[in-house]
Structure 1
Amino acid sequence: MIEPIKTPQHYASPGARELRAQAVHRLQVGLFGLCAMLLLVGLANIIMDRARLADSEDPIREVVAADSKPKKQATDPLADIGVVPASEPSPTPKPTVATTPNPRDLADPLAPRQ
């Protein structure tokens, strides 16, 4: 068991050795943080350069794309099978005029025509 303190304890200022150790520790932490930030900015710069290079396409691709067959537009498979409504409604078919069949055609389709 620890005995209780009977007399008041006064603050003891740190010695020169402790102050130097604290300063070195702060310096190490600061330099580590600075190096980490430089590495992070450098990595971001490399990523942006690679993305910029990937965005710039060769001019030959535009010529090949102009000569190639047009691609079919992408459709929604769920709308195609009727599960969900289509995003673009299909055009309504035009009504056709119903004509009455000729009675001669109904009688004998294989008979010679006059």
Structure 2
Amino acid sequence: MRLFSKFGVLVLALCLSLPALAMSLEEAKQQLDTAKQSGLVGETPTGYLAVVKADGNAREIVDAINEARRQEYSRIAAKHNIPVAEVEAVAGKKAVEKTPAGQFVRIGDKWVRK
């Protein structure tokens, strides 16, 4: 019986933590535009975001969005039987191209405001 109660506690803890993780990603998505417009976060040719200026919760936003991107790139790569690096490169090129004027993109080793 004791094993079942430990298992029940583990399941309950997992169930309570999953919505918190999902909420974290949703919050990050909502805050991403503001962070980009504020010059805290920028797009890179690697397909991932990076911190331009480490203020506020820029690192948490970048980490949450990049993890979601990693998962999506892996899914796309598996679906089309291509390397993940190829998906990342295409996504990075598109993200840099689509970045609006006034926001930062990484070109080589430098951050550039479009």
Which TM-score applies when normalising by structure 2?
A: 0.29
Higher relative contact order, chain-length normalized (CA < 8 Å, sep 6+)? 2
- More strand by percentage: 2
Which TM-score applies when normalising by structure 1?
A: 0.29
- More helix by percentage: 2
Larger radius of gyration: 1
